[in-house]
Amino acid sequence: MEILLVYIMFILFLLIGSFLNVCIYRIPREESIAYPPSHCPECNSRIKAIDLIPVVSWLALKGRCRTCETKIPARYPLIEMLTGIILLLTYKVTGFNINFIFTAILIATLITITFIDLDHKIIPDGLVIFLFAVGFMDKVSSVIQNQPAFWVNSIWGLLLGGGFFLLIAVISNGGMGGGDIKLMAALGFWFGWRGILMVMFLSFIIGGFVSAGLLFARSAGRKQMVPFGPFIAVGAYLTALYGTGIWDWYLSCFM
């Protein structure tokens, strides 16, 4: 029974990944994410329902549009798989409850932000506002369930996350974008001051390693701007799911 439930959820998560692909493509182009239905960006033909099955359709069509045979990048099924696996890991940590819903929305939004930032080097304001709104609802839901909502902690997190990145932006003279600052403020509101410190710490460590690796791999890339949003997203993902464990491990290093 349990395994059947996991299969059904995985299929649902793949479908969510498919929806994230639509968001990643359309939001930065300021197109509606609901209308029109999916179409091939090359020949504009409407994609049939049978060709909208996550991962499977891409494999069946050998990665090409059924009508015009234009290549469909492998990134589409990969994002579907990534979303499916990450949300399954989320379920494993939280179990199925209201907390899972909020964490899953947070993580799905972070995946969307990651790929939009990689493609366009922007973090759309709409997605940051959406994160704020869901973070706010998360707290309202805590109040309704008679649990502490930690409003003050969230305000400190917001000021700390947004403020620190604003400071970096000023010092580095635009090395950190406005989108990164706003995203950090929204995540600070989600995580509170201690959580956002961990997000910062992790994102700088991961960002440092990846940037060094990129520089090493192609020495000419020194002037290329590496978007920072994906590192924030990975840091936030790790903090949301494994924050307590990372904190305990960190403390144990000093004991």
Q: Which residues bind Zn ion (CB under 5 A)?
A: 40, 42-43, 65, 67-68, 70
* Residue 70 C-beta: closest distance to Zn ion, Å: 5
Q: Which is nearer to Zn ion, 46 or 92 (CB)?
A: 46
Q: Which is nearer to Zn ion, 42 or 119 (CB)?
A: 42
- What's the N-to-C CA distance of the chain in angstroms? 43
β partners of residue 39: 46
Q: Which is nearer to Zn ion, 70 or 244 (CB)?
A: 70
Nearest one of 99, 109, 108, 111 to 139, comparing CA atoms? 99
* Residue 130 C-beta: closest distance to Zn ion, Å: 31
Q: According to DSSP H, which parts of the chain are helical?
A: 2-26, 56-60, 75-94, 98-120, 125-144, 151-171, 178-217, 229-252
Residue 84, both tokens: 């499916």
Q: Which is nearer to Zn ion, 45 or 224 (CB)?
A: 45
* Residue 142 C-beta: closest distance to Zn ion, Å: 47
β partners of residue 46: 39
Cβ neighbourhood burial of 8 (10 Å; 0-12, 13-18, 19+): exposed
* Residue 51 C-beta: closest distance to Zn ion, Å: 11
Nearest one of 127, 136, 78 to 107, comparing CA atoms? 127
Residue 247, both tokens: 């904190």
Q: Which is nearer to Zn ion, 61 or 238 (CB)?
A: 61
3-state secondary structure of 33: coil
* Residue 65 C-beta: closest distance to Zn ion, Å: 3
* Residue 67 C-beta: closest distance to Zn ion, Å: 5
Q: Which is nearer to Zn ion, 64 or 92 (CB)?
A: 64
